[in-house]
Amino acid sequence: MRVSIEFAAAKSLSYDIFIDELEEIVVRGKAAVITNDKIAPLYLEAFKRKIKAKEIHEVIIKDGEKYKNLQTMEYILNELFKFKLDRKSTLIAFGGGVVGDMTGFAAAVYQRGIDFIQVPTTLLAQVDASVGGKTGVNNHFGKNLIGAFYQPRAVYCESGFLKTLPNREFAAGVAEIIKMALMFDKEFYEWLEKSDLNDETNLKEAIAKSIKIKADVVAQDEKESGIRAVLNYGHTFAHVIEQKTAYSQYLHGEAVAIGIVMANELAVNLGLLQRDEAQKIEKTLQRFSLPTRYQIIDINSFYETFFLDKKSADSKIMFILPCGIGNFAIRDDISEDIVKKTLEVFK
């Protein structure tokens, strides 16, 4: 005997990303702001005054990628239960990518899902992490391995927060901007090559352009079954570097910068990218004070670590490679030999 269950198609989902338009955030029930111990002393009190809610609570976690794990998640969830948040409550992520990813995941699983809003305070989170609904935590097997696709209700990017951002964190965000330009918009990349992002007008322009690219890609492929994977350019290598350095030596965007250089080297070896283009890109990354080199100690161990990546289904490694600037190839058929030969350059 067979019983079929058929759900009606879910309504289409949309939300807005506001750039420099945050005046107040109004939520219907209780709100809880999730932030970290670096942001809280600087901005939390002023930020809370912008929130209109029945009750406003706060959860302050420690700053850093190494706290992005299930233990911190459980701490956040326990706090939310203590505040007696209900299904009509809203979480507000107020911080960088770590805060955003964890807040989104907490919202996804708290009482099987409540609303959340992103208020990213770092450049990287503004241009990349806060848009698109990838949420989750790391574990000792790798990055973002536990999580959910769960979209926010709105994203508020305020360039004002970037004024106090340390230089390294600013550069880390620029790495993701360069990544998007290289894959999708040659003109934008060429503009980036010569522009000063310390100039406020230029910075806003770069943020808006990156968000538009990201939103466009994600809207086409929310669950990353196709084109969204292109946003992982540089990340296949970056995730290995981050894991090998215990998430403590490089900021995510810094690892991505090195990963872009490694992916480019592979693309050059495969004849997809000209050597001089690869060199130009490396120079651009360096111009924004990004690291471009990482010394691989053990090629085999580095190679094995690729296979822990989520994208490596069926024991194939997926590489996102530039085909010139503004074009890309998604490849999962590259031989171990060619990859290891590429890695040798970084030994």
- Residues near a second copy, by CB under 8 A: 1-21, 29, 70, 74, 77-78, 81, 84, 86-88, 105, 108-113, 131-132, 134-136, 139, 141, 144-149, 151, 204, 208, 211-212, 215, 218-219, 222-223, 307-308, 310-315
Beta strands 134-139 and 56-61: pairing type? unpaired
Query: Is 168 noted as a catalytic residue in this protein?
Result: no
Q: From the CB of 55, what's the least distance to a second copy, in Å?
A: 11
Q: Min. distance of Cβ 112 from a second copy in angstroms?
A: 5
Q: Is 57 a catalytic residue?
A: no
H or E element at residue 35: strand 31-36
In the annotation, is 214 catalytic?
yes
At its nearest, how many Å lie between a second copy and the CB of residue 154? 10
CB of 1 to a second copy, least distance (A): 4
Whether 134 is catalytic: yes
d(CA 176, CA 73): 26
State the catalytic residue, choosing from 48, 179, 209, 228: 228
| Closest of 232, 213, 218 to residue 332, by C-alpha | 232
Q: Environment class of residue 153 by beta-carbon count within 10 Å: exposed (0-12), middle (13-18) or buried (19+)? A: middle
For 286, phi and psi rounded to 5 degrees? -65, -35
Active-site residue (options: 58, 224, 265, 282): 224
Helix/strand/coil for 21: coil
Annotated catalytic residue within 2, 23, 24, 112: 112
Annotated catalytic residue 232: yes
- From the candidates 58, 176, 265, 282, which is the catalytic residue? 176
Which residues lie below 8 Å from residue 76, measured CB to CB, with a gap of 6+?
34, 59, 61, 102, 103, 106
Q: Choose among 14, 13, 35, 17: nearest CA to 155.
A: 17
Judge whether 235 counts as a catalytic residue. yes
176 assigned to active site:
yes
Active-site annotation, residues = 112, 134, 176, 214, 224, 228, 232, 235, 239, 252
